[in-house]
Amino acid sequence: MIPPGETIGILGGGQLGRMLALAAANLGYRCHVYAPEADSVAADVSAAFTQGHYDDQAALAAFAAQCAVVTYEFENVAAGPLAAIGEHAPLHPPVRALEVAQDRVNEKSFVEALGGRPAPWAQVDSAADLAAAIARIGAPGILKTRRDGYDGKGQWRIMEPADAARLDLPAVPLIYEGFVRFEGEFSVILVRDAAGDVRFWDSARNEHESGILARSTVPAPAFIAAQVEAARALAANVADALDYVGVLTLEFFATADGPVFNEMAPRVHNSGHWTIEGALVSQFENHIRAICALPLGSTALAAQGAVMDNLIGDAACDWAQILSDPANHLHLYGKAAVRPGRKMGHVTRLIL
């Protein structure tokens, strides 16, 4: 067990790290953030900050030597250099989870082997591969980078085969996915401790705009709720197969034929921000509890439900108006520059 008072290392300096650090502080821990950028909204609320690159093994080792345990809030970190951390402090979730989740081909193959069903997909490394993929899977579909994509970045919609011919293919590994005709999207968020105890929060319905999460609503409507059990079974299998410790998220499309796996994140997730006020114990606190081997807290609802809206780009400038409604829970991430498409904060309303 890592008792309160110890230092938790967090790789990644964004809002997820910030909310993890705030939850850790509530439990009496200190946090030490490691991130490549000079400005970190996670470091702003933490006891210590190391600015370093994710492949700088010496800097990672020096950082880990000052931590009792290390976690990450960002999955696009090369797995190899993280071995330097393991020599000094335990790293949770396991590096294997990162390797699986950071590559869409690995992720889909891994989940298929456990009985999950993703959209039809094909690996694409050339224009000929793409033409063959479209011939087999059909269009419409989405071409995505295998790695480093997030919030809809690194994705190209292909409505008809001719679109592919017009594309200037980026020189990175790609994947082509058939377009899923879904009725809605939802996520399964679980926490697993080292003894294998697994708990799930209620699944939110997630609505995206331009590939970015706009709103999460709990409880989800009945057509989604009916698919949650099957999705949870898959998520628990994934967590067990990885010997996972911490919070794990799987995203799904709810279709007429049941849940279709979209992607996984080996970390706390935007679609779980509602748990800060809407659950007895939030995803952030339970992640800290799991990695420190403290008893897990209840994931039960603290209200009838909750609605979380992301504040993207200049929507965050409306903070005064948001606060004029006393029932709103406003979270601003403290980012200096507003940019279109950038997640600046979120607001949660409980359904009482």
Q: Read off the DSSP letter of residue 8.
A: E
C-alpha span between 281 and 138 (Å, rounded): 44
Of residues 73 and 263, the one with the C-beta less far from ligand AMP: 263
Cβ neighbours of residue 350 closer than 8 Å, sequence gap 6 or more: 277, 278, 302, 303, 304, 305, 306, 327, 329
Within a 13 Å sphere around the CA of 264, how many CA atoms are in the beta-carbon half?
36
- What phi, psi does 98 have (nearest 5°)? -65, -45
CB of 159 to ligand AMP, least distance (A): 12
CB of 270 to ligand AMP, least distance (A): 11
Of residues 209 and 229, the one with the C-beta less far from ligand AMP: 209
- What phi, psi does 251 have (nearest 5°)? -105, 140
Of residues 264 and 288, the one with the C-beta less far from ligand AMP: 264
CB of 64 to ligand AMP, least distance (A): 30
Of residues 9 and 149, the one with the C-beta less far from ligand AMP: 149
Of residues 111 and 350, the one with the C-beta less far from ligand AMP: 111
CB of 263 to ligand AMP, least distance (A): 5
Task: State which residue has the least CB distance to ligand AMP.
Answer: 180
CB of 267 to ligand AMP, least distance (A): 14
- CA proximity to 247, closest of 11, 68, 16: 16
- CA proximity to 9, closest of 39, 242, 52: 52
Interface residues with ligand AMP (CB under 6 A) are: 119, 142, 149, 152, 177, 179-180, 185, 208, 211, 251, 262-263
What are the distances in angstroms from CA 285 to CA 43, 55, 266? 18, 28, 16
CB of 252 to ligand AMP, least distance (A): 10
Of residues 180 and 322, the one with the C-beta less far from ligand AMP: 180
- What phi, psi does 185 have (nearest 5°)? -120, 145
